[in-house]
Amino acid sequence: MSPLLDASACHNLLRSFLAEDIGTGDITTETTVSSLQRGRGEVIAKSPLTLAGIELFAEVFRVLDAGTEVQLLSHDGEALMPGQVPARLSASARALLTGERVALNLLQRLSGVATRTHQFVHAIAGTQAQILDTRKTTPGLRALEKYAVRVGGGKSHRKDLGEAVLIKENHIRLAGGVSAALAAAQAVKGRVKWIEVEVTNLDELRAALRHDPDVILLDNMKPPLVRQAVEMIHKHEAPNKILAEASGGITLENVREFAEAGVDWISIGALTHSAAAVDLSFEIEPE
């Protein structure tokens, strides 16, 4: 299992995924396939992709059959072309049939996130900017989807609400403004990884700079305005460097414009909430 994943937590997740799918039992497999039958299965890429989750794929079958034998031919982070086989398995035929859907769904989903992330990372190559994920993840799958982002070359933003302060539009409105929100946030400085505030215009940016936050999120600004905002941040004298983050309205077609505007981070919710599952198949034969 990758050191980026908690093996015990992943094992528990896989058990819960299988329980959801199996229900009271895989009645079709149990009535048509002998418990003594063994099978061989191989994963086949059907489209170009960045692989993510292949060890989790194999672990699904180990949960069902401790005697599962796995041959990994590719590893997470590798680019695959159609026809390539990243893994072969040998196990109880019942285990292969029962675990197929859960294992394949997970592999397709995570590889989709990694593939999408890699496309964004490639699009800004040569700039100082980094591609980050967000908390716009599937409930229950956050750790796995954020892992897939890292496999694709991206970085993780906050893992949860307790890791850092991120003051957004609704916080600002309820707190009474950018200055009031940032002043209140100083109470937890040192207890969180960073304090960040979202701004949507240059007036809000000026108010934010007076409090020297660690990160300023430039939300839904066009690249020319982002460039102007970054220049203001760089000119501002602060005890430590203030990072500039861009988010909102960012696509593969315009992401490089944002990167070249000088931001440090580019956070993209679509890495996880809109990544399409890649095309992979799992073909099983009698052993």
Find the catalytic residue in 55, 198, 245, 264: 198
Can 219 be counted among the known catalytic residues?
A: yes
Among the options 135, 136, 142, 159, which is catalytic? Answer: 136
- Rounded to whole angstroms, what are the CA distances from 130 to 122, 163, 212, 259? 11, 19, 22, 8
Verify whether residue 38 is a known catalytic residue.
no
Which of 40, 101, 135, 159 is flagged as catalytic? 101
Q: How far apart are CA 66 and CA 64, in angstroms?
A: 7
101 catalytic? Reply is yes
From the list 168, 193, 210, 241, the catalytic residue is 168
Distance CA 201, CA 72 (A): 50
Q: Going by C-beta distance under 8 Å and a sequence separation of 6 or more, which residues neighbour residue 230? A: 218, 244, 261, 262, 263
Catalytic, 168? Answer: yes
Q: Which of 26, 55, 219, 245 is catalytic?
A: 219
Active site residues per annotation: 101, 136, 168, 198, 219
